[in-house]
Amino acid sequence: MNRTGLLIALAIAVVTGGVFAVWPQLDLTLSGFFYDSTTRRWRVLDWPSGIVRDLAAWLIALVAAPAFIALLAKLVLPRRPMWLPGRAVLLMISTLALGPGVIVNSIVKDNSGRPRPVYVTEFGGKDQFLPWWDFSGPCAKNCSFVAGEPSGAFWTMAAAAVVPAHWRVAAYSAAITFGAAVGVLRMSLGGHFFSDVVFAGVIIFLLIWLTHGLLYRWRATRLTDAGVERVLERIGTPGYDAAMRIAARIRGTAPRG
C-alpha cells in the first residue's frame, strides 16, 4: 500500500474512464463476446456459473472469517491477547463494510441508473445503453455500475495488505486475479459491463489504500495494534465481568453433593 499502487490505480481509473467515455461502445463490444445474437442468449450456462458464484462468495467469507473471529474472541475474552494484529482486524472489517457493503451496493449501485447488459436493446432487452458516467438511466436499484460481486472479490486485497511482507506480492496478485475472474464471470452472464468491473476494483483499492494509510502510515492518525486491543478490551470487559458475576451466582446457588 504505497504511493506507486495509488498512482497505478488512479492511472487505470483515468485511462478507463477516458477511453470508455470517448468510445462507450467498447463496453458493448466486450460484452458482445459473451452474447450469441443468433439464439439471443448469453453463452455461459446457468448451472456452472451459479456454482462458481457460490464458491466465490464462500471464498470471500473464508478470507474475512479470521478477522471477525478474532474480533468476537477479543470481545468475549477481553483480557486475552488477539491472535490477529488489531489493526489488521480493523482494516479488514471496516473496508469490507464500507466498500462492498456501503459505497458500492448502497450508494453507487442504487444511484447510477445504468441498465445491466442483459436489459439493453443491443442484447435483447428494452432499455437504452448508457455509458458509465451517465447516471440518468431508468434503473432504480442494484444497477450495473459498479459491479457488486467483483467488488467483494477485489476486497481480498485488504487481506493481502496485512500478510507478511514476503507474501504480499503473491497475495495482491491472487486478489486482483480473483476480482478480475469474478468480473469476467459476471460479464459473461450479462450482469455487468467491463467498465463496471474496472471501477469496482479501483474504488475498493482506493478505500483500502486510504484506510491503510490512516491506520499504518500517516503519523497524525496511525494506530498501534496494542492501542486497538486496549479499546476492544475496554468495550468487552463490562460484559465479560457481568457474565462472570452471573456465573458465580449460579455456581453459588447450585446444590452441593
pLDDT band for 1, please (50, 70, 90 cuts): confident
Residue 25 has a pLDDT of 97
Residue 157 has a pLDDT of 98
Q: Is position 247 within any domain?
A: no
Q: Is position 248 within any domain?
A: no
Q: Do the Cβ atoms of 73 and 83 come closer than 8 Å?
A: yes
Given a cut of 90, whether residue 49 has pLDDT beyond it is: no
- For residue 148, which of 190, 94, 95, 192 has the smallest C-alpha distance? 192
Neighbours of 154 (CB within 10 A): 29
Residue 43 has a pLDDT of 79
Lookup: cell for 108: 453507487
Neighbours of 220 (CB within 10 A): 5
Q: Is position 109 within any domain?
A: yes
Residue 248 has a pLDDT of 87
Beta bridge pairs of residue 41: 36
Residue 50 has a pLDDT of 81
Residue 68: domain span: 3-239
Q: Is position 252 within any domain?
A: no
Q: What are phi and psi of 33, to 5 degrees?
A: -65, -20
Residue 257 has a pLDDT of 47
Q: What is the mean pLDDT of residues 108-116?
A: 97
Q: Is position 167 within any domain?
A: yes
Domains identified in the chain, total number = 1
Given a cut of 90, whether residue 51 has pLDDT beyond it is: no
Residue-wise pLDDT tens digits, 209-227? 999 999 999 988 889 999 9
Q: What is the mean pLDDT of residues 174-190?
A: 96
Residue 22 has a pLDDT of 97
Q: Is position 39 within any domain?
A: yes
Helices (H), the chain: 3-22, 25-32, 46-76, 86-96, 148-154, 157-162, 165-188, 194-212, 225-253
Q: What is the mean pLDDT of residues 155-161?
A: 97
Of 48-52, 117-121, 202-206, 234-238, give the lowest mean pLDDT range: 48-52
Residue 256 has a pLDDT of 54
Given a cut of 80, whether residue 45 has pLDDT beyond it is: no
**0.85 exceeded by pTM:** yes
Residue 39 has a pLDDT of 86
Distance in angstroms (rounded) separating the CA atoms of residues 13 and 189:
24
